[in-house]
Amino acid sequence: MDKDQFIQQLEKMSVAELNDLVKALEEKFGVSAAAFAASAPSTSLGQAEAVEEKDSFNIILKDAGSTKIQVIKVLRELTGQGLKEVKDMTDKVPVTVKEGVKKAEADEMKKKLEEAGAVVELK
Protein backbone atom coordinates (compact mmCIF):
# COMPACT_ATOMS: atom_id res chain seq x y z
CA MET A 1 0.00 0.00 0.00
CA ASP A 2 1.45 3.36 -1.00
CA LYS A 3 0.93 6.71 0.73
CA ASP A 4 -2.04 7.76 -1.43
CA GLN A 5 -3.86 4.47 -0.83
CA PHE A 6 -3.22 4.80 2.89
CA ILE A 7 -4.69 8.31 2.91
CA GLN A 8 -7.74 7.09 0.99
CA GLN A 9 -8.29 4.40 3.62
CA LEU A 10 -8.01 6.99 6.39
CA GLU A 11 -10.62 9.17 4.68
CA LYS A 12 -13.12 6.28 4.84
CA MET A 13 -12.73 5.90 8.63
CA SER A 14 -15.17 7.32 11.16
CA VAL A 15 -14.07 9.75 13.86
CA ALA A 16 -14.24 6.96 16.45
CA GLU A 17 -12.07 4.71 14.29
CA LEU A 18 -9.54 7.51 13.75
CA ASN A 19 -9.46 8.16 17.50
CA ASP A 20 -8.75 4.46 18.16
CA LEU A 21 -6.03 4.50 15.49
CA VAL A 22 -4.33 7.53 17.07
CA LYS A 23 -4.41 5.87 20.51
CA ALA A 24 -2.95 2.66 19.09
CA LEU A 25 -0.16 4.58 17.34
CA GLU A 26 0.61 6.51 20.54
CA GLU A 27 0.89 3.25 22.50
CA LYS A 28 2.87 1.44 19.79
CA PHE A 29 5.48 4.17 19.33
CA GLY A 30 5.41 5.76 22.80
CA VAL A 31 4.53 9.23 21.51
CA SER A 32 1.74 11.74 22.03
CA ALA A 33 -0.22 13.16 19.09
CA ALA A 34 -0.98 16.30 21.13
CA ALA A 35 2.66 17.37 21.00
CA PHE A 36 2.66 17.11 17.22
CA ALA A 37 -0.70 18.82 16.77
CA ALA A 38 0.40 21.86 18.77
CA SER A 39 3.55 22.37 16.73
CA ALA A 40 2.26 21.34 13.30
CA PRO A 41 2.12 24.18 10.77
CA SER A 42 -1.31 24.90 9.37
CA THR A 43 -1.70 24.41 5.66
CA SER A 44 -5.14 25.75 4.88
CA LEU A 45 -6.54 29.23 5.30
CA GLY A 46 -9.22 28.00 7.71
CA GLN A 47 -6.63 26.44 9.98
CA ALA A 48 -4.49 29.57 9.87
CA GLU A 49 -7.40 31.69 11.04
CA ALA A 50 -8.11 29.28 13.88
CA VAL A 51 -4.50 29.58 15.10
CA GLU A 52 -4.68 33.37 15.34
CA GLU A 53 -5.04 34.47 18.94
CA LYS A 54 -8.40 35.92 19.88
CA ASP A 55 -8.49 39.40 21.38
CA SER A 56 -11.97 39.26 22.89
CA PHE A 57 -13.76 36.51 24.77
CA ASN A 58 -17.17 35.57 26.06
CA ILE A 59 -17.30 34.42 29.68
CA ILE A 60 -19.58 31.39 29.99
CA LEU A 61 -20.78 30.20 33.41
CA LYS A 62 -21.04 26.41 33.05
CA ASP A 63 -21.92 25.60 36.68
CA ALA A 64 -22.38 27.67 39.82
CA GLY A 65 -20.93 24.90 41.97
CA SER A 66 -21.75 24.06 45.57
CA THR A 67 -20.91 27.56 46.89
CA LYS A 68 -23.60 29.29 44.85
CA ILE A 69 -23.91 32.27 47.24
CA GLN A 70 -20.21 33.10 46.80
CA VAL A 71 -20.58 32.83 43.03
CA ILE A 72 -23.60 35.16 43.13
CA LYS A 73 -21.60 37.73 45.10
CA VAL A 74 -18.74 37.62 42.61
CA LEU A 75 -21.13 37.82 39.64
CA ARG A 76 -22.79 40.91 41.12
CA GLU A 77 -19.38 42.52 41.59
CA LEU A 78 -18.22 41.67 38.06
CA THR A 79 -21.41 42.47 36.14
CA GLY A 80 -22.97 45.24 38.22
CA GLN A 81 -26.33 43.46 37.94
CA GLY A 82 -28.88 43.07 40.70
CA LEU A 83 -29.39 40.06 42.93
CA LYS A 84 -32.39 38.70 41.01
CA GLU A 85 -30.65 38.92 37.61
CA VAL A 86 -27.52 37.24 38.91
CA LYS A 87 -29.46 34.50 40.72
CA ASP A 88 -31.42 33.82 37.52
CA MET A 89 -28.08 33.55 35.73
CA THR A 90 -26.84 30.85 38.13
CA ASP A 91 -30.12 28.93 37.76
CA LYS A 92 -29.93 28.86 33.94
CA VAL A 93 -26.41 27.54 33.36
CA PRO A 94 -24.74 27.41 30.93
CA VAL A 95 -25.14 31.16 30.45
CA THR A 96 -23.03 33.95 28.97
CA VAL A 97 -21.96 36.25 31.79
CA LYS A 98 -20.23 38.87 29.65
CA GLU A 99 -19.38 39.20 25.95
CA GLY A 100 -16.47 40.79 24.08
CA VAL A 101 -14.11 40.97 27.05
CA LYS A 102 -10.36 41.55 26.55
CA LYS A 103 -8.07 38.59 27.37
CA ALA A 104 -6.62 40.02 30.60
CA GLU A 105 -10.03 40.99 31.98
CA ALA A 106 -11.54 37.64 30.92
CA ASP A 107 -8.77 35.72 32.69
CA GLU A 108 -9.26 37.80 35.85
CA MET A 109 -13.03 37.28 35.80
CA LYS A 110 -12.58 33.55 35.25
CA LYS A 111 -10.11 33.36 38.13
CA LYS A 112 -12.45 35.17 40.54
CA LEU A 113 -15.43 33.02 39.58
CA GLU A 114 -13.44 29.79 39.86
CA GLU A 115 -12.10 30.84 43.28
CA ALA A 116 -15.75 31.27 44.33
CA GLY A 117 -16.47 27.70 43.18
CA ALA A 118 -17.90 28.21 39.69
CA VAL A 119 -17.03 26.34 36.52
CA VAL A 120 -16.23 28.90 33.82
CA GLU A 121 -15.28 28.69 30.14
CA LEU A 122 -13.81 31.38 27.91
CA LYS A 123 -14.89 31.31 24.26
Q: Write out pLDDT tens, residues 67-104.
A: 899 999 999 998 899 999 999 988 998 999 999 889 88
Q: Which of 20-24, 31-35, 49-53, 57-61 has the highest mean predicted lDDT (pLDDT)? A: 57-61
Examine the domain organization and report whether 75 and 106 are in the same domain.
Answer: yes
- Among 73, 105, 112, smallest CA distance to 89 is for 73
72's CB contacts (< 8 A; 6+ apart) are 64, 83, 86, 87, 90
Confidence of residue 34 (pLDDT cuts 50, 70, 90): low
Examine the domain organization and report whether 60 and 118 are in the same domain.
Answer: yes
The parent domain of residue 33 ranges over 3-51
Examine the domain organization and report whether 14 and 65 are in the same domain.
Answer: no
Name the H helices within the chain. Answer: 3-11, 15-29, 33-39, 45-51, 68-79, 83-91, 103-115
Examine the domain organization and report whether 90 and 60 are in the same domain.
Answer: yes
Average pLDDT over residues 43-66: 72
Examine the domain organization and report whether 94 and 118 are in the same domain.
Answer: yes
Average pLDDT over residues 10-17: 84
Q: How many domains does the chain have?
A: 2
* φ, ψ dihedrals at 44, nearest 5°: -110, 160
The Cα-based distances of 20 to 10, 24, 27, 35 in angstroms read 12, 6, 11, 17
